[in-house]
Amino acid sequence: MKRNTYRKIISTTLIALLGTATQAHRVAGASAGTAEEQIEETMKRLSTREKIAQLFCFAYGDFQTGKDLEIRKKAVRMGIGGIIIDDGDIEATSRQLNAFMDDAKTPLFIALDGEWGAGMRYYSVPSFPRQMQLGALSDESLIYRMGELIGKECRDLGFNVNFAPVVDINNNPGNPVINTRSFGEDRDKVTRFSIAYMLGMQSAGVAGSSKHFPGHGDTNVDSHKGLPVIEYDRTRLDSLELYPFRKHIEAGADMIMVGHLSVPALDPTGTPSSISRPMLTDLLRNEMGFKGVICTDALTMKGLVNGSDLTQDEIPLASFMAGADILLMPKDMMASMKIIRKALRKRVITMEQLDEKVRRILLLKAKLGLFDEDRRISLDGIRERSIRKENLDLMDEIAEKTMTLVSGNPSKPVAGQRSVYLAYMDTSAQEGSFEGVGGYPGLNPEKTAEMFLETLREYDSSVEFMKYDGTPEQLESIRSYDRIIVGYHNYNIRKQNVYDIPEEVLNFMYSLPEDRLTSVYFGNPYILDRIEWRRLGTFIIAYQNTTFNAKAAAKVVQNVIPAHGVLPVSAGGLPCGYYFTE
């Protein structure tokens, strides 16, 4: 079998895990016979309108009230197939999800767009690292464990589908939307790591959604804002962009999410992939042999809306006809459902096509055990319960194994030397700053700087602290120290935000003595393309501005632990996979 053949190229550690994950995922649902009975019984009782409703998934956040909430309640009563959670309060959102589940006659997909776990949507929940930091690991065993823990977290919070992992290969440093969401630019590592993540979630009874087909990594346009065009020929696409998706299909992917991309080599008309029959039916379904659920990305994204000549109400029908099963977040569910029903009456589409899609959706629901279990979310202690010690322990372990040394060697503190920690915090350019809950972790530069200092002082209590002010007096003062540690606590890790270090700050740092200087950058490794990093002494990439990374980076600086990480992308003249050795 292809699946067994592919396993031979995966590490020994993961081979055992693959079997465990597949077995556990099957156990989570009903047996084959029972699943068939459940599906057929459900198909018999569903009206045509309810079958159409099963194709749709709407977004819900606790900020939706009044008319918006009433529309969503009506959609649930009509038999909507699923709900994707938008940002919100964990307790309020869970309470409403329970109400939705009580009203649903057919089990709902409760979906999360949680690439780094539930913390991507619930800010009170600690987040795992973005995938690019995970790409600094050397093997996938911790990725499988992370997927398993994210799966358990999802089930506890009511989610049965997570729209992750990202399997795009980020080989374009200027990519404004994938970038740090990718495991990096190494095709085989992206494939192995993303499969490990998917199988870990499956082992906990949660379906993943491999995205964004046919591959969003080598683009310089954000499909939320415009239509990216991928100009490569079929040979290149087969060898790179499509490769991870083929391997995910062989490894047992439940769902693939299609992006909004124009790929002339796959569809000469330039039609966005989410409404392209050559890409969804001819390629993904027929040629690549995918038998699972095809889900669109959000149907309101401008890449699709501006890239077609359709109205937003017509787009879901076009996606249906192209081959999609789940129609995610249309602008107007009711209007789009009416258009699909009208197309049925006019025989533009057939009942056989509709039934085939609904059966695929119901099969996955049965596989996840949604017909067999109490799906209500326990609200008892939900906030406290969402901060899970096993998750925090793994976040610490991942942090310690991903710190990446690109130049120099950290040295142990020497008795009698004067050490100073200079914190640069550009708080004006944060993606979002908040405290988190229970101190875990928040995206607050002051909190991260405090943790970095606290950990430095565990191993050298004499470390002094300064906050960068850029004055000549501060520069002269710092020159007198035997050891200078600079922490860049920025959180501008995405390309569409400016993650540069300002020129005046760099000039200040370039003036410091390199042989006494250690620099720790809590951000995107592509920063190496934008600075003269060799002038900044010992240089450590710490990837994200979190307390977990602050603790790990401080331990590396103090030579308590080695820097295990490797670069997940090529940057600053260094190759992908690089780490500094003398």
Catalytic residues: 297
CA atoms within a 13 Å half-sphere pointing along the CA-CB vector of 428: 4
Q: Count, in order, helices (H) and strands (E) of the chain.
A: 22, 14
Give yes or no for a contact between 57 and 326, defined as CB atoms under 8 angstroms apart.
yes
Closest residue by Cα to residue 252 from 544, 3, 548: 3
Contact 198, 208 (CB under 8 A): yes
161 three-state secondary structure: strand
Closest-CA residue to 414 (of 462, 476, 451, 450): 462
The per-residue DSSP string of 308-357 comes to SSS-TTTHHHHHHHHT-SBEE--S-HHHHHHHHHHHHHTTSS-HHHHHHH
- CA geometry: angle 205, 209, 215, nearest 5 deg: 155
Strands 538-541 and 404-407, bridge-based pairing = antiparallel
Across the beta sheet with 255-258, what order do the strands follow?
Answer: 210-213, 255-258, 293-296
Residues 6+ apart with CB under 8 A from 503: none
For residue 363 the two structure tokens come to 């099969």
**Is 185:167 a contact under the CB 8 Å cutoff?**
no
Contact call for residues 233 and 265 (beta carbons, < 8 A):
yes
Handedness of CA 406, 412, 413, 414 (dihedral sign): negative
**Angle in degrees, 0-180, between the axes of helices 90-103 and 66-78, rounded to the nearest 10:** 40
CA gap 128, 398 in Å, rounded: 9
465 sits in which H/E element = strand 464-467
Sign of CA dihedral 339, 344, 347, 351: positive
Tell me how far apart the alpha carbons of residues 515 and 538 are, in angstroms, rounded to a whole number.
8
* Residue matched to tokens 């690089």: 578
474: Cα separation from own chain's centroid? 40
Burial, 554: exposed, middle or buried (Cβ in 10 Å; 0-12, 13-18, 19+)? buried
Which helix (H) or strand (E) segment holds residue 448: the answer is: helix 445-459
Q: What is the C-alpha R_g of the chain?
A: 25
Cβ atoms of 169 and 214 closer than 8 Å = no
Are 244 and 222 spatial neighbours (Cβ–Cβ below 8 Å)?
Answer: no
